[in-house]
Amino acid sequence: YVTGSNSKLMSAEIETYLTGRYVSIPVYTLSFREYLTFRGKDKADVAAFDEYLQYGGFPVIGISQFDTHTAYQIVDGIYASVITRDISKRHRIRNKELFDRVVRYIIENVGMTFSANTIVKYLKNEKRTLSVETIYNYLKWLGEAFIIYPCKRYDLQGKEILKTQEKYYLSDISLRYSQMGFDSKMLSAMLENVVYLELKRRGYEVFIGKNQTKEIDFVGVRREERIYVQVCDRLPDNSDRETANLMELRDHYHKYVVCRDPLASGNVNGIEIINIVDFLLRNEW
């Protein structure tokens, strides 16, 4: 095993030096199951998950008993170190303030359909200018430094990966809180982020599903396996909004609606409705 610092060598550069002679093993922040172990908790419940949702999965936070203010300060230190050392200095970014504004915009819009042109217009309204090419360079560097992960759109009918309208998710949800504070309005996006990371931890390649005009939150692909996942805080009363998109998929793969609602359970036409705690702790899907 070889480990190293991003300040010397980014992960994307390893293949330049070790072509054909290495296997990359991705490492993520703590899963919910790992967080419970770090906290010494034997029982998982909604309160434990809400704590995880508030503190995130950095091991230094999971193993300690920090208050939220201190925890976010520590995460902010990690974030600032990566942004400064691994990106700003490495790529000689001259306008650090403008770069920070772009990064903040991306963090604020986690889980939203991304458009570089939207950022250009946003900056233009603030009397700032930045090219689309520069924005995509920023995204590339943020990805190489493991601040964000791209989630591309997959056409389920055409069976092809689309080049536009991707989304981005954070390597840990606490990165958003450290920059913007904790806000319950962020909940839906952060639930998606948690599920996205769990799919990646389990070896799935993760996409947004496009089925004609409908969208599936996540399509996880692992060799010959496939899984479809919709994520929500609570199922709306008297509405099939979360299940309707999945019902249109005519195949045998597992389909889930994952909810934070502790009472969420059941099966609707082969679609399993499951509480997010049970989903994250289930050994196999």
Could you read off the pLDDT tens digit of each residue along the chain, which spans 285 residues?
666 666 565 666 666 666 666 777 889 999 999 999 999 998 888 889 999 999 999 999 999 999 999 999 999 999 999 999 889 999 999 999 999 999 999 999 999 998 899 999 989 998 899 999 999 999 999 999 999 999 999 999 889 999 888 999 999 999 999 999 988 888 999 999 999 999 999 999 999 999 988 899 999 999 999 999 999 998 877 668 789 999 999 899 999 999 999 888 999 999 999 999 999 999 998
Q: Considering the domain boundaries, does residue 111 fall inside one?
A: yes
Q: Which domain holds residue 217?
A: 11-281
Contacts 24+ apart (CB under 8 A), 239-243: 240/268, 243/268, 243/269, 243/271, 243/273
pLDDT at 25: 85
Strand partners, 11: none
**In a domain? residue 167:** yes
Please state the pTM of the whole predicted model: 0.92
Strand order in the sheet with 225-232: 160-161, 153-155, 205-211, 214-222, 225-232, 254-259, 271-275, 265-268
Does residue 1 lie within any of the structural domains?
Answer: no
74 occurs within a structural domain: yes
pLDDT of residue 13: 64
pLDDT of residue 14: 61
Looking at residue 6, its pLDDT comes to: 62
What is the per-residue pLDDT for 208? 97
pLDDT on residue 264: 87
| Structural domain total, the chain | 1
pLDDT at res. 5: 60
| Structure confidence at residue 235 (pLDDT) | 85
pLDDT at res. 31: 98
pLDDT of residue 49: 95
User: Is residue 29 within 8 Å of 58, Cβ to Cβ?
Assistant: yes
